[in-house]
Amino acid sequence: MSKIIVLVNKKRKVLSGKELADYIIAFLVLSFSFSIMMNGGFIFFGLLFTYTALTERLLYTFLTSLVFISFPAVLTCFVFHETAHKVTAIRYGAKAYFKCFYWSIPITIISSLFMIIFAAPGGVVIQDWAGKPLNRREQGITAMNGPLTNMIIAGVMLPFVFMELNTVYAIYVFAIGYINAFVGFFNTSIPYGPFDGAIVFRYNKKLWLVLFLVSFLLLIEYIILQPYCNPIII
């Protein structure tokens, strides 16, 4: 397999203009898609264009969920997740950058209309730096730090969820924690294919098992708390 090796410019930019644009596009696409799904997908648009008397209320609900749920949830579960991969890979000497998958944008948006999310608007591309590939340990730690970031955020949000139980603010803190718990579990639990869990599993099966159990317990905790937060997430 051919390797992309950069030998000319040894100064690696932390974040290029193109990469920042890719981050923003992926962030907005995923945020809007989450809001579409949370507000009913096709049902939302059906009501929006059928019952004009409800237009103002529906748009208010959509924008509220976008700003107070989707934006912070996607920022933490997706942007922080991918950035953790990138920072770790760079720390180990690789060249890493975020790339938006433009081909997946319509798929992500359309899938949200059917109340599911194809949440892959982009990802971190990791390349050898000056011919030095990451070894198995470095690959495993790099893969682990993405879902581990989600688990940490989900754990940090738990006390705030308990503090806001049965209040109007419960849904906002619950959504951030729940989505991070789900993303952490989903990426860790599948030890096959291109998922983070598969890379961690190949590196250290005991480490994978610990991550799997922690992510599973976090997700179960949020599922138990779900009825007390009046959530609009299924």
Q: Domain check: are 40 and 139 in the same one?
A: no
Q: Domain check: are 53 and 159 in the same one?
A: no
Residue 206: the pLDDT is 95
For residue 104 the two structure tokens come to 């997946």
Q: 150, 175, 227, 218: which is closest to 67 by C-alpha?
A: 175
Residue 8: the pLDDT is 30
Q: Domain check: are 166 and 216 in the same one?
A: yes
CA 179, chain centre distance (Å)? 8
Q: Domain check: are 83 and 191 in the same one?
A: no
Residue 9: the pLDDT is 37
Please indicate, yes or no, if residue 77 is contained in any of the structural domains: yes
Q: Domain check: are 158 and 224 in the same one?
A: yes
Residue 12: the pLDDT is 52
Provide the number of structural domains found in the chain.
2
Please indicate, yes or no, if residue 191 is contained in any of the structural domains: yes
- Tokens 């103002």 locate to 56
Residue 164: the pLDDT is 78
Longest dimension (CA), the chain: 63
Q: How large is the angle between the packed helices 105-113 and 17-38, nearest 10 degrees?
A: 10
Owning domain of residue 98:
16-134
Q: 233, 127, 137: which is closest to 183 by C-alpha?
A: 233
Q: 190, 88 in Cβ contact below 8 A?
A: no
Please indicate, yes or no, if residue 22 is contained in any of the structural domains: yes
Q: Please give the average pLDDT of every successive group of 10 residues along the chain, which has 234 residues.
A: 32 75 95 86 69 74 86 94 94 91 91 82 80 83 95 94 80 90 91 88 95 96 83 44
Q: Domain check: are 149 and 188 in the same one?
A: yes
Residue 18: the pLDDT is 92
- Of 134, 160, 192, the residue at which a domain comes to its end is 134
Residue 5: the pLDDT is 28
